[in-house]
Amino acid sequence: MRVMMSAVLVTFCLGLSSVNAAEARLPVDVARYVEQREGCEHFRGEIPDPPDKQRMKEIEREIRKLCTGTDKKLQQLKRKYAKNQAVMQRLNEFEENIE
C-alpha cells in the first residue's frame, strides 16, 4: 500500500513539474497558481474506497496545504489579469468557491 501510494505521489509530482507549452506562456504567478490549484483539485477527488483512515488523514493534510487561500488568490489573479484573455480563459476553468 505504501509503495503504491508513493508511486502515485511521485507520478503526480512529476506531472506537476512538467509544464506544457500553453502553461509556459502564462505569467509566473498564474502558472504557480495553476500548479497549486491542480494539486488541490487532485486531492479533492481522492476519496479512498474502501475507507482508509490513514489515507484520509494524508488527503486532508494535502487539501489544507494546497487548497487553503486559493479562493482569494483566484480572485486576485482575475482582477490583475482581467484584460488578458489567455490568462482569464485558464483561470475561468477553476471553481471560485471551494474552501
Distances (CA, A) of 23 to 2, 32, 39, 70: 32, 10, 15, 18
Q: What is the pLDDT of residue 42?
A: 96
C-beta neighbour count of 23 within 10 angstroms: 14
Determine, yes or no, domain membership for 74. yes
- The 10s digit of each residue's pLDDT in 80-93 is 999 999 999 999 99
Tally the domains of the chain.
Answer: 1
Q: Is residue 97 a part of any domain in this protein?
A: no
Q: Is residue 85 part of a domain?
A: yes
**Does residue 48 form part of some domain?**
yes
What range does the domain containing 6 cover? Answer: 2-91
pLDDT of residue 75: 98
The string of pLDDT tens digits covering residues 16-73 is 454 455 566 899 999 999 999 999 999 999 988 888 999 999 999 999 999 999 999 9
User: How confident is the model at residue 23, as a pLDDT?
Assistant: 60
pTM for the whole structure: 0.73
Q: Is 99 contained in some domain? A: no
Q: Is residue 16 part of a domain?
A: yes
